[in-house]
Structure 1
Amino acid sequence: MMRTKKLLPAALALMIVLPSFLDQAAAAEGEGKITSKDEVVYATLEANGKLDDIYVVNTLNVAEAGKTVDYGEYSSVKNLTNLSKLDQDGEAVQFDAPEGKFYYQGNMADNTELPWSIDVSYLLDGSKIEASELAGKNGQLEIRIHTAANEKADAIYFENYLLQISLQLSNSYQNLEAEGGMLANAGKNKQITFTVMPGKEEDLSLKADVDDFEFTGINIAAVPSTLPIDTSEMENMTDDMSTLSDAISELNKGVADLNKGVSQLNDGAASLRDGSAKYKNGISQLNGSSSQIVGASNSIGDALKKISTSLSSDTAQMDMRSLSELPEGLTQLADGMKQTANALTVLRENYAAAYGALDGAVKGIPDQQVSEEEIAVLYKSGADASVVKKLVDSYAAAQTVKGTYSQVQKAFAAVDPTLSQISGSVTEMGTALNGIAGELSASLKNTDMSGLDQLQKGIKELSSKYGQFHSGLVGYTGGVSKLATSYNDLHTGITGLADGTGELNNGVGKLHDGTSKLNDETKDLPDQMKQKINEMIKEYDKSDFEPVSFVSAKNEKVASVQFVIKTKAIEKEEQAEKKAKPEKKKGFWALLMELF
């Protein structure tokens, strides 16, 4: 009974295995048909990235069982599907394949190169160290990984394949830093994953504080880059960009209008400053001649008194020559007053023109108020912050000018009627003096000594009333002096206003240049965005990539080629020795018996 029980599992095993062998033997009679092939390239690297070993696991999808040929530059091959023999003749690998999936391994020749050049270096506390010396060390560790194209291999994989580089770290790694890497928890360990896009060279770095250092190695998977990019939301994005572009265009138009208005304001302020300078010079000259006018008037008054006194004395002793000079003096005085009145008229006309230009320029500043919320939106619009600040400062300066002008406008408006009144008064005085001089001259020509009494009375009355005229003249010159002194301050303010509007004009001009440039660069923003998205899709989406066999160009119907690459672990010596002890290999029958 015991013997029967022992034989039963073996009999069951034979019943399972023998039919498959019989099927494989029968399949060898015809030609096999392969519908597709997959290749997985396994590579082992030294800890520093140097290639150590490389082999390929081939998966053939066999539609019809029979004799089959595959190709590869292998140093040796191994059947992973059944116990049938693989015949190798150069690159050709011949075998009898049953229907379904057929697996076999090909160990690559020594001259085989990976498509990527991978260099791994280690630094401990800032100093380079060999990987063989790292096990069990403590300190700050940095692992640097450099990936680039291997010039000795076919570039098609480098240009179309995405690299996923991952490092699994135990909890003995602390204070992890991995710029550009994605950190994830993997059970009690942590995993850092880097992604290298097709056709790109990269320098990757991982930093950590380690204690009793060990390292399981770097795992690298290379697959075709097939990024499914959904473009359905592109229209919404481009609509938003169109709104932004339109807003910037409107902003540029508004700044252009502001620039035009500020330019007009600056022109008006400059005209006002020039007219004010002429007025200041004229009033200063008038004020300077006031003392001469008053002195001349004093002389006239004294002369009239002397004439009146002389006429009151003995007629026989009177000097008629001095009396004849009086009309000429009065005429000269009248001419001087007429010139003064004319100068005041010209000054009034210049002032009126300058005041009109200033009034129009200031009223041209828009009354619309810009709120703080609107200014905040403008800052967030993406425009150059310095340019926006200039715009806000310019707006504040323009509103200040408008507010200041509204406060002093009455003072500006009062100057014109004052000048008109003074000019009229001076004209009247000059006309009166001309009349007196004419009457006196006529009287002297037509008067003999018998009519001297009448002349005495007239001169006496003129002398007594001339004092009133002289008092009025002194008051007028005093007013001119005050006006000249006060107008210096007013002219200083007008000059400051003109300088301020000049700076405002320059600032708004630069702002307009900036908004114009921004408008030029963003007016085609939606189309530019679409173009960039399409370029990105074209660069990184390799969904139209057709796989090419890694092992031989003769292979057809290649469905996929993938790479699985791993660097050797860095372990302490006792740990490595445990792994180095060879385990007793179990035969096929031993493995089969374990199933039961």
Structure 2
Amino acid sequence: MRRKHIIVVLLTLVLIFPPFLLSAAPNEEEKVTDNSGDGTNGEYKNKDEVIYATLSATGDEKAMYVVNRFDVTKSGEIIDHGPYESVKNLTNLSEIEQTDQKVSFQAEEGEFFYQGNMDNQSLPWEVDVTYTLNGQKTDPENLLGKDGKLQIDIATSPNESEQNSFYQNYLLQVSMTLDPAIFNNIEATEATIANAGKNKQITYTVMPGKEGDMSLSADVTDFELNGIEISAVPSSMSIETPDVDEMTGEMETLADAVAEINSGVAELEEGIATLDTGVNDLVNGSQQYNNGMAEISQSSTEIINASTSIKDALSLMNQSLQGDSGDIDLTQLTQLPDGLVQMGNGLSETATGLSTLQENYVNALNTLNEAVEAMPSHEITEEQINALYSSGANSDVVDKLVETYKSAKAIKTTYNQVKEVFFTVEGTLNQVNGSLNEMSGSLNTMATNLSDSLDTMDVTDSLGQLQEGIAGLSTNYQEFHNGLVSYTNGVSQLAENYSGINSGIAELSSGTGALSTGVGELHGGTAELADATDNMPDEIRAEVDEMIEEYDKSDFDPVSFVSKKNEKVETVQFVIKTESIVKEEVETEEIEEEQEDGFWSRLVELFS
């Protein structure tokens, strides 16, 4: 019965197909087989490599394979290279031959894919992942199902044993997909956080040639984590040079402003130096004036005592003359002219000292006035001061500049308010000096007249006249003595008050000295700042060019990751993923094998 069916099938074939098709079929099959193995060299336009790597949860490499894609432009044999443990055709069922690190295969025009499995091959990057739960470093296998405060730290660094060109030219994107049911209060510094359905997508970027240091923290409940994904692609974007003319223009304006400030500080330094010199001269003159006033004040006691003696003597003489003339003793009267002369000479010496003091005081006062008037009267606004602080200048130097400016302004303002008092002292000294000279002359005249009167006087005839003269002299001298007491009291008060003025001038000298030193340091600082900002626009352009050169990798020529012998490599990409930390689920898979019947089977079944 079976034999009968076979005969029926053969007869049917003869009836359906012409004889030339039946005889040509084996030849056609033989022709295809011959073409696939005839050794004709194929050609391809370019090649792409995608490296897939699996890491442990802590970043240790576990497995790696490469998917190679060829854009074939001519059918034939294609040669590729790579240290593969095994290879697999992903395009068709033709065999791929591998001898050592040489891979050959037959390919038709179009795309051709094959997979190469690698072992003991390292990535260009070292990846290190650490996990910390509630402050304690924890192994990944011990985290599953735990609750608490979790921190994940991911570090990437160059693998010195591998090709450095990928590390220097490739951009890393590190991403994690977090389930909000497990992760809450997520904190990821310098990461991009986006929604991916119900999950949170955390993405970090590591620039070419840079080590990565990424950290994420969150509150976790029943911890699970899908694998961390790392993709590495060439940073091929071209960076255009930005227009920095506006910014450099502002920097030039700042540099010009700083140069003007430096010039102004130089003028201020010169003015302060002149002020300091003038104040020093004033201190010397003021000290001399103070010493003279102290001496006059000390001499006032002697003058008052002498004047009191004369006053008492005149009063006694007047009382004696008013009595009986027979009891009058005129021997003391002859001593009166000498006493008047001595007092006059003392007042004259005092007047001379005051004259010298006045001259020194005027010289010192003029020097001070010139120094203060020479100080610059520039007005610096708060906006200008704030701009100087914002310019990047040394804050300590700016503080000294502002303090110096305010101190100099206060000195000039205070001096303008009190300088009339200083000039009034000169007039007072003139008046005191004139009064002393006038009193000295009056005493000398009085002594001369009294001496002449005593020489020519007839005591008997002129006693009455003498009594009247002595009485008038005693009265007038009493008034003179009262004026002299008022004068000495004024001199004493002036000496006491001027001692405070002299101390203030000394403190002013100390302040102007420190001010001069501070302005000198300030000028040094502003000069340094002016030098630093002078070339700032060119330095900014140079920095921008350097940054562009560092990150612009558009001129990078791709090279094969698996072998230096491979040519026409257009792109090389890396897809890296760590193992997931998830609970194991028992899955039952039903594998249904569906056998696809061929033409002959269906034909046999048709007749069975």
TM bucket (normalised to shorter chain) is: 0.7 to 0.9
Instruction: Please state if 1:472 is matched with 2:467.
Output: no
**Contact preservation (8 Å) 1:121, 1:143:** yes
Which of 1 and 2 has greater Rg? 2
SS of the residue corresponding to residue 77 of structure 1 reads: strand
SS of the residue corresponding to residue 199 of structure 1 reads: coil
Q: Describe the shift of the 1:376–1:319 C-alpha distance in structure 2 as closer, same or farther (beyond 3 A).
A: same
Task: Tell me which amino acid in the other structure corresponds to 1:404.
Answer: T
Q: Describe the shift of the 1:28–1:540 C-alpha distance in structure 2 as closer, same or farther (beyond 3 A).
A: farther
Measure how far apart 1:265 and its partner are.
3.4
Q: Which has the larger displacement, 307-316 or 421-430?
A: 307-316
Residue 113 of structure 2 aligns with which residue? 103
**C-alpha separation in 1, matches of 2:594 and 2:493:** 123
Residue 171 of structure 2 aligns with which residue? 162
Where in structure 2 are the equivalents of 1:142-221 lying within 5 Å? 142-172=151-181, 173-221=183-231
Measure how far apart 1:310 and its partner are.
7.7
**Contact preservation (8 Å) 1:165, 1:218:** yes
Task: Flag structure 1 segments of 5+ consecutive residues without an equivalent.
Answer: 1-17, 591-596
**C-alpha separation in 2, matches of 1:581 and 1:151:** 44
**Contact preservation (8 Å) 1:24, 1:96:** no
Task: Flag structure 2 segments of 5+ consecutive residues without an equivalent.
Answer: 1-27, 599-608
**Contact preservation (8 Å) 1:41, 1:562:** yes
Measure how far apart 1:45 and its partner are.
0.8
**Contact preservation (8 Å) 1:341, 1:423:** yes
**Contact preservation (8 Å) 1:48, 1:121:** yes
**Contact preservation (8 Å) 1:241, 1:525:** yes
Measure how far apart 1:205 and its partner are.
1.2
Residue 5 of structure 1 aligns with which residue? none
Measure how far apart 1:288 and its partner are.
1.8
Q: Identify the match of residue 516 of structure 1 among 517, 521, 527.
A: 527
Task: Tell me which amino acid in the other structure corresponds to 2:282.
Answer: L
Where in structure 2 are the equivalents of 1:324-343 lying within 5 Å? 325-343=335-353
Residue 284 of structure 1 aligns with which residue? 294
Residue 241 of structure 2 aligns with which residue? 231
**C-alpha separation in 2, matches of 1:146 and 1:326:** 112
Task: Tell me which amino acid in the other structure corresponds to 2:303.
Answer: I
**Contact preservation (8 Å) 2:47, 2:571:** yes
Q: Identify the match of residue 57 of structure 1 among 56, 60, 67.
A: 67
Task: Tell me which amino acid in the other structure corresponds to 1:138.
Answer: D
**C-alpha separation in 1, matches of 2:36 and 2:364:** 115
**Contact preservation (8 Å) 1:62, 1:101:** yes
**C-alpha separation in 1, matches of 2:100 and 2:590:** 33
**Contact preservation (8 Å) 2:156, 2:213:** yes
**Contact preservation (8 Å) 2:321, 2:328:** no
Measure how far apart 1:500 and its partner are.
4.5
Measure how far apart 1:340 and its partner are.
0.8
SS of the residue corresponding to residue 74 of structure 1 reads: coil
SS of the residue corresponding to residue 294 of structure 2 reads: helix
Task: Tell me which amino acid in the other structure corresponds to 1:140.
Answer: K
Instruction: Please state if 1:135 is matched with 2:150.
Output: no
Residue 11 of structure 1 aligns with which residue? none
**C-alpha separation in 2, matches of 1:463 and 1:24:** 162
TM-score by length of 1: 0.84
SS of the residue corresponding to residue 337 of structure 1 reads: helix
Residue 11 of structure 2 aligns with which residue? none
Measure how far apart 1:32 and its partner are.
1.7
Measure how far apart 1:139 and its partner are.
1.7
Measure how far apart 1:368 and its partner are.
4.4
Measure how far apart 1:199 and its partner are.
2.7
**C-alpha separation in 2, matches of 1:585 and 1:276:** 120
Q: Identify the match of residue 117 of structure 1 among 110, 126, 129.
A: 126
Instruction: Please state if 1:272 is matched with 2:282.
Output: yes
**C-alpha separation in 2, matches of 1:484 and 1:584:** 124
Residue 487 of structure 1 aligns with which residue? 498
Residue 37 of structure 1 aligns with which residue? 47
Task: Tell me which amino acid in the other structure corresponds to 2:101.
Answer: E
Instruction: Please state if 1:527 is matched with 2:538.
Output: yes
TM-score by length of 2: 0.83
**C-alpha separation in 2, matches of 1:411 and 1:367:** 22
Q: Which has the larger displacement, 228-237 or 202-211?
A: 228-237
**C-alpha separation in 1, matches of 2:442 and 2:302:** 19
**Contact preservation (8 Å) 1:308, 1:456:** no
**Contact preservation (8 Å) 2:69, 2:111:** yes
Q: Describe the shift of the 1:329–1:526 C-alpha distance in structure 2 as closer, same or farther (beyond 3 A).
A: same
Task: Tell me which amino acid in the other structure corresponds to 2:300.
Answer: S
Q: Describe the shift of the 1:304–1:567 C-alpha distance in structure 2 as closer, same or farther (beyond 3 A).
A: same
Measure how far apart 1:387 and its partner are.
4.0
Residue 578 of structure 2 aligns with which residue? 567
**C-alpha separation in 2, matches of 1:582 and 1:250:** 87
Measure how far apart 1:209 and its partner are.
1.1
Q: Describe the shift of the 1:323–1:205 C-alpha distance in structure 2 as closer, same or farther (beyond 3 A).
A: same
Count of aligned residue pairs for this structure pair: 566
Q: Describe the shift of the 1:371–1:317 C-alpha distance in structure 2 as closer, same or farther (beyond 3 A).
A: closer
SS of the residue corresponding to residue 573 of structure 1 reads: coil
**Contact preservation (8 Å) 1:138, 1:213:** yes
**Contact preservation (8 Å) 1:24, 1:97:** no
**Contact preservation (8 Å) 1:277, 1:491:** yes
Q: Describe the shift of the 1:316–1:337 C-alpha distance in structure 2 as closer, same or farther (beyond 3 A).
A: same
Q: Identify the match of residue 80 of structure 1 among 85, 90, 100.
A: 90
